């Protein structure tokens, strides 16, 4: 009996240590460098991959985008798009800041960002859509 | 590429959810009906206290003698099942998709943790594969379907690992990752993967029999 | 991890009951009987057991057949694979040859001890699956000869051993007389109404081990019990029909037994040291008759003896001196949790107690239970071989000094006797009754 209890204790501690080690490694942060989007709200974030350099002018030229409001949109208080007005110079987070989640990540802002790019790329059937195409290692 | 992405994250994803939810519901319902018709005694002997007592002993690592005499299997199987559930639910890349599509979000794992847990799942699948091939008693029980299930379970994790580390062809692999996850979900109601839902009932019943009638431990 | 050998050749069955039964089978008959059993008599339980098994092999180490023979065929799930798994997959379209093998497995390679249910993470009850296989075989008429003979005896005489009504009474009177040498005025009261204890035994007691009745009578008298035994059929609590799959007959037997006690308005049934009989009265038979628990309190000898010591109803001269070890029979430890009471009795009666390991619910089976020993000589060698693990366990207890094995179950006695003899363990076997009788201080 004593031996069994002893074994249980040893084996359980091995198990708990294993899980503990994994959880401890949660602190390791990936370095983020190439960021040319003004994004204070996610810079403490430990989860996202750095964004590849978004080459603004080349992108718009290739995509044939002339109207800034296609991306830098403005909605009125009825949540309707205001035509002919755009929001460049204004950080996305001014409107799209969401509650922070447990990792201090503004996941709502990230979600909005993803949708903006991906929805457009999917409708035009051009441009990156899967995670790794923008969030390069 | 864009077509596939749209299809497998759109209509096919909905089909997957429906198959998973209704398939599991149907499976439960049919077992329930059959039990009511043919095994009414089962309900008579089910006992919440003893069922929970048994389940508790079997979901705590090394809580049963069976686990104590199979330490390797116990460690691997617990790490495997925990990682199998935690990783897909809490990896950041998935939570952000929930946020995008349903505007709900929750706790996320750091990438390193998710990466390690993915490796645990893959490693565990290799261990299970090794057992199936190497141990004579397990090999004797193994059917081709058992290998297929192992493959179905490992696939989303192998492809996920591939995608996260951006090995060559990761863009296509992302689509395969999505499909493999959907296949796994859809397979649950129709394969032995359904054991995840039946566990509390089979364990609970034998626990009730042992506790209530046999007055003995079952761990 | 135990490295099992690969699958070995199956031995040819030479059992005449199985072989004769097979001669009458056609694939059509097999299919229709299987369909009937599966659709009418089983349901979600069987389906869930067979479908939930993930083929992980954790049950292997739960089975003494596998541990002794190291052949994957003998792991609990391996036995399901060779029986119901295949039958359900083929929807009953199996050959007579398959049935022959399945019958051999279900009747002689599983003691229905349910130890594997404690090793399966899902608690799947392989003994139940084997009992379904036996039920199918019973309905197909493919049952090993010797156990079928006991089932026939049950149906003709309501006891297991073809004991005639007058022989039963005669035996009781004979044992009464013998016991009077030890204790003057000793009685074995027959058919006494309103007794506190209705004492029932198994068929083999009057047939081969009449001294056990004598001992029980002495203990009852020494304790000053108000007890009785029935003079008419219903006295036998054993039940081989439960093990052949003849549930109709099992119900008749259990009903007769309960009614014997209830007709005499007895307060409770006390049974001799038998495991399977206890299982049939306490667990299986009552359910078949629709009783959630037995309609009258059923007390196994261990519980009863424990009571005697706890209430100081009997006194002992001195403790039993030889070092003893205790074999926990499946049907009363795993089947009724009496193992702690058994230890209380050991401590009250013996000087020196050595545990065998594993013990209590985890004890290894004697290889004889579940009707396996009752399948008789054609399967004896195989049965003793499957007791190798038990022999190792006994040797280990012996190495620690144990000289006597207490086995409070008839089947266990039979099985352990063969194992002790075959492997040269050289230990003495005793019932609790033997020990208590030996050290009992008889009242003046």
User: What tens digit of pLDDT does each residue of C350-398 get?
Assistant: 999 999 999 999 999 999 999 999 999 999 999 999 999 999 999 999 9
Residue to mutate among C48, C51, C289, C328, with most B CBs inside 10 A, is C48
Q: Do A114 and B96 touch (CB under 8 A)?
A: yes
pLDDT at C336 over 60: yes
Whether B163 contacts chain A with CB within 8 A:
yes
Residue to mutate among C123, C285, C337, with most B CBs inside 10 A, is C123
Interval C141-185: pLDDT, tens = 999 999 999 999 999 999 999 999 999 999 999 999 999 998 999
ipTM > 0.90 for the complex: yes
Nearest-neighbour CA in chain B from C245: distance (Å): 18
Q: What is the structure's pLDDT at A7? A: 60
Q: Tell me if C28 is assigned to some domain.
A: yes
pLDDT at C293 over 90: yes
pLDDT at C43 over 60: yes
User: C26 and C135: one domain?
Assistant: yes
pLDDT at C90 over 90: yes
- Could you tell me the residue range of the domain that residue C113 belongs to? 16-143
Q: What topology is assigned to B2-213 in CATH?
A: Fumarate Reductase Cytochrome B subunit (1.20.950)
Q: Tell me if C134 is assigned to some domain.
A: yes
Interval C403-440: pLDDT, tens = 999 999 999 999 999 999 999 999 999 999 999 999 99
Is pLDDT larger for residue C418 or for residue A54? C418
User: C22 and C92: one domain?
Assistant: yes
Given a contact cutoff of 8 angstroms between Cβ atoms, the answer to whether C396 and C356 are in contact is yes
Nearest-neighbour CA in chain B from C309: distance (Å): 21
Kindly state the percentage of chain C with pLDDT values over 90: 96
pLDDT at C122 over 60: yes
Report the domain count for chain C. Answer: 3
Q: Tell me if C4 is assigned to some domain.
A: no
pLDDT at A5 over 90: no
Q: What is the structure's pLDDT at A35? A: 42
Q: Do A15 and B112 touch (CB under 8 A)?
A: no
What does the pLDDT average to over C241-256? 97
Interface B-C: count of C-beta contacts within 8 A = 147
Q: What is the structure's pLDDT at A14? A: 55
Q: Tell me if C239 is assigned to some domain.
A: yes
Whether B95 contacts chain A with CB within 8 A:
yes
Whether A44 contacts chain B with CB within 8 A:
no
pLDDT at B173 over 80: yes
Assigned token pair, C431? 């019932």
Interval C212-245: pLDDT, tens = 999 999 999 999 999 999 999 999 999 999 999 9
- The CATH class of the A29-134 domain is alpha beta
pLDDT at A71 over 50: yes
User: C170 and C306: one domain?
Assistant: yes
Interval B137-157: pLDDT, tens = 999 999 999 999 999 999 999
Residue to mutate among B140, B207, B209, with most C CBs inside 10 A, is B140
Q: Do B171 and A101 touch (CB under 8 A)?
A: no
Is pLDDT larger for residue B213 or for residue A19? B213
| pLDDT band at residue C14 using 50, 70 and 90 as cut-offs | confident
| Residues of chain B positioned with their CB less than 8 A from the CB of A12 | 61-62
What does the pLDDT average to over B201-212? 96
Q: Tell me if C58 is assigned to some domain.
A: yes
- SS3 call for B216: coil
User: C320 and C306: one domain?
Assistant: no
User: C132 and C168: one domain?
Assistant: no
CATH number where C60 lies: 1.10.1060
Each domain of chain A, given as residue ranges in start order, spans 29-134
Q: Cα B37 vs. chain centroid, distance in angstroms?
A: 29
Q: What is the structure's pLDDT at A11? A: 53
Is pLDDT larger for residue A37 or for residue B128? B128
Q: What is the structure's pLDDT at A59? A: 87
Q: Do B69 and C6 touch (CB under 8 A)?
A: no
Q: What is the structure's pLDDT at C4? A: 57
Q: What is the structure's pLDDT at C31? A: 97
Q: Do A23 and B113 touch (CB under 8 A)?
A: yes
| Residues of chain B positioned with their CB less than 8 A from the CB of C73 | 140
Q: Do C121 and B66 touch (CB under 8 A)?
A: yes
Q: What is the structure's pLDDT at A21? A: 45
> In three state form, how does the secondary structure of chain C look?
CCCCCCCCCCCCCCCHHHHHHHHCCCHHHHHHHHHHHHHHHCCHHHHHHHHHCCCCCHHHHHCHHHHHHCCHHHCHHHHHHHHHHHHHHCCCCCCHHHHHHHHHHHHHCCCCCCCHHHCCCCCCCHHHHHHHHHHHHHHHCCCCHHHHHHHHHHHHHCCCCCCCHHHHHHHHHHHHHHHHHHCCCCCCCECCCCCCEEEEECCHHHHHCHHHHHHHHHHHHHCCCCEEECCCCCCECCCCHHHHCCHHHHHHHHHHHHHHHHHCCCCEEEECCCCHHHHHHHHHHHHHCCCCCCCCEEEEHHHHHHHHHHCCCCEECCCECCCEEECCCCCCCCCCCCHHHHHHHHHHHECCECCCCCCHHHCCCCCCCCCCHHHCHHHHHHHHHCCHHHHHHHHHHHHCCCCEEECCCHHHHHHHHHHHHHCCCCCEEECHHHHHHHHEECCC
Interface of C with B in 18-47 (CB under 8 A): 42-45, 47
Q: What is the structure's pLDDT at A34? A: 38
Is pLDDT larger for residue C328 or for residue A14? C328
Whether A42 contacts chain B with CB within 8 A:
no
Final residue in a domain of this structure, among C83, C109, C143:
C143
Q: Do C56 and B70 touch (CB under 8 A)?
A: no
Query: Looking at the partner chain, which of B31, B210, B213 has a beta carbon nearest the beta carbon of C48?
Result: B31
Is pLDDT larger for residue C243 or for residue A74? C243
Question: Taking the alpha carbons of B74, B76, B80, B82 in that order, is the dihedral positive or negative?
Answer: positive
Mean pLDDT, rounded, of chain C = 95
Whether B157 contacts chain C with CB within 8 A:
no
Q: What is the structure's pLDDT at A46? A: 56
pLDDT at A25 over 50: no
Distance CA C203, CA C154 (A): 9
pLDDT at A53 over 90: no
Q: Tell me if C155 is assigned to some domain.
A: no
Q: Do B99 and A108 touch (CB under 8 A)?
A: yes
| pLDDT band at residue C192 using 50, 70 and 90 as cut-offs | very high
Nearest-neighbour CA in chain C from B9: distance (Å): 31
Q: What is the structure's pLDDT at A17? A: 52
Q: What is the structure's pLDDT at A23? A: 41
Whether B196 contacts chain C with CB within 8 A:
no
What does the pLDDT average to over C263-268? 97
| Residues of chain B positioned with their CB less than 8 A from the CB of C66 | 137
State the DSSP string of chain A: -HHHHHHHHHHHHHHHHHHHHHHHGGG---------S--GGGTT-SSSPPPPP--HHHHHHHHT---GGGTS--B-TTS-B-TT---TTS-THHHH-----TTS--HHHHHHHHHHHHHHHHHHT-S--SHHHHS--
Mean pLDDT, rounded, of chain B = 96
Question: Taking the alpha carbons of B2, B7, B10, B16 in that order, is the dihedral positive or negative?
Answer: negative
User: C366 and C267: one domain?
Assistant: no
| pLDDT band at residue A132 using 50, 70 and 90 as cut-offs | confident
Select, from the ranges A51-60, A100-109, B96-105, the one with the highest average predicted confidence (pLDDT).
B96-105
Q: What is the structure's pLDDT at A28? A: 31
Q: What is the structure's pLDDT at C13? A: 76
Whether B78 contacts chain A with CB within 8 A:
yes
Interface of B with C in 67-106 (CB under 8 A): 69-70, 72-73
pLDDT at C88 over 90: yes
């Amino acid at each position: 009996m004593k031996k069994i209890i002893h074994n249980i204790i040893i084996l359980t501690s091995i198990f708990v240590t294993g899980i503990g080690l994994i959880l401890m490694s949660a602190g390791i942060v990936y370095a983020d460098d190439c960021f040319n989007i003004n994004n204070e709200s996610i810079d403490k974030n430990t989860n996202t991959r750095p964004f590849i350099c978004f080459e603004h002018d080349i992108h718009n030229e290739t995509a044939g985008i002339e109207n800034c409001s296609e991306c830098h949109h403005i909605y009125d208080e009825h949540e309707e798009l205001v035509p002919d007005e755009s929001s460049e110079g204004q950080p996305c987070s001014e409107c799209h800041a969401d509650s922070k989640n447990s990792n201090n990540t503004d996941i709502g802002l990230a979600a909005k960002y993803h949708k903006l790019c991906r929805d457009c790329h999917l409708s035009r059937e051009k441009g990156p859509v899967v995670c790794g195409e923008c969030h390069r290692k | 590429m864009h077509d596939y992405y749209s299809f497998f994250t759109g209509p096919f994803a909905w089909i997957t959810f429906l198959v998973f939810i209704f398939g599991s519901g149907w499976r439960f319902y049919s077992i329930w009906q059959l039990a009511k018709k043919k095994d009414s005694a089962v309900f008579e002997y089910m006992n919440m206290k003893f069922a929970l007592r048994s389940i508790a002993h079997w979901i705590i690592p090394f809580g049963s003698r069976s686990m104590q005499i199979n330490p390797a299997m116990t460690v691997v199987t617990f790490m495997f099942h925990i990682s199998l559930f935690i990783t897909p639910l809490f990896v950041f890349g998935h939570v952000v998709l929930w946020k995008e599509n349903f505007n709900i979000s929750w706790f996320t794992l750091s990438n390193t943790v998710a990466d390690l847990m993915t490796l645990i799942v893959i490693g565990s699948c290799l261990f299970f594969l090794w057992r199936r091939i190497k141990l004579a008693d397990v090999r004797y029980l193994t059917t081709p379907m058992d290998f297929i299930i192992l493959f179905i379970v490992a696939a989303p994790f192998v492809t996920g690992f591939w995608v996260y580390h951006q090995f060559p062809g990761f863009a296509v692999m992302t689509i395969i990752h999505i499909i493999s996850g959907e296949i796994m979900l859809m397979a649950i109601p129709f394969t032995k993967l359904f054991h995840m839902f039946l566990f509390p009932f089979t364990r609970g019943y034998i626990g009730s029999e042992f506790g209530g009638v046999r007055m003995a431990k079952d761990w | 991890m135990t490295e099992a050998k690969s699958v070995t050749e199956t031995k040819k069955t030479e059992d005449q009951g199985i072989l004769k039964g097979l001669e009458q089978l056609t694939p059509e008959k097999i299919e229709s009987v299987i369909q009937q059993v599966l659709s009418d008599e089983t349901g979600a339980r069987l389906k869930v057991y067979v479908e939930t098994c993930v083929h992980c092999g954790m049950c292997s180490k739960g089975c003494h057949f596998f541990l002794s023979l190291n052949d994957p065929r003998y792991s609990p799930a391996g036995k399901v694979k060779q029986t119901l798994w295949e039958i359900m997959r083929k929807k009953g379209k199996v050959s007579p040859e398959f049935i022959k093998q399945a019958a051999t497995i279900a009747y002689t390679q599983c003691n229905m001890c349910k130890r594997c249910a404690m090793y399966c993470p899902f608690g799947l009850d392989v003994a139940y699956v084997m009992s379904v296989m036996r039920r199918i075989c019973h309905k197909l008429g493919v049952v090993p000869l010797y156990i079928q003979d006991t089932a026939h005896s049950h149906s003709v005489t309501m006891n297991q051993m073809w004991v005639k009504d007058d022989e039963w009474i005669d035996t009781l009177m004979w044992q009464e007389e013998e016991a009077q040498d030890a204790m003057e005025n000793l009685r074995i009261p027959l058919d006494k109404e309103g007794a506190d204890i209705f004492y029932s035994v198994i068929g083999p007691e009057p047939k081969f081990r009449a001294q056990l009745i004598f001992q029980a009578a002495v203990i009852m008298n020494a304790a000053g019990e108000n007890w009785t035994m029935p003079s008419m059929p219903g006295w036998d609590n054993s039940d081989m029909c439960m093990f052949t799959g003849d549930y109709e007959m099992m119900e008749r037997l259990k009903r007769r037994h309960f009614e014997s006690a209830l007709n005499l308005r007895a307060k409770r049934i006390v049974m001799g040291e038998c495991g399977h009989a206890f299982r049939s009265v306490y667990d299986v038979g009552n359910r078949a008759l629709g009783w959630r628990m037995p309609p009258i309190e059923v007390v196994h000898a261990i519980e009863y003896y424990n009571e005697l010591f706890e209430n100081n109803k009997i006194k002992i001269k001195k403790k039993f001196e030889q070092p003893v070890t205790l074999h926990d029979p499946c049907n009363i430890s795993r089947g009724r949790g009496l193992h702690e009471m058994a230890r209380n009795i050991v401590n009250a009666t013996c000087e020196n107690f050595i545990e065998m390991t594993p013990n209590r619910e985890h004890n290894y089976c004697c290889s004889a239970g579940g009707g396996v020993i009752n399948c008789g000589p054609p399967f004896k060698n195989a049965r003793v071989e499957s007791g190798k693990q038990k022999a190792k366990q006994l040797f280990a207890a012996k190495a620690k000094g144990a000289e006597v094995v207490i086995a409070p179950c008839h089947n266990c006695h039979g099985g352990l006797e063969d194992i002790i003899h075959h492997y040269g363990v050289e230990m003495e076997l005793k019932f609790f009754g033997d020990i208590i009788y030996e050290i009992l201080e008889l009242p003046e």
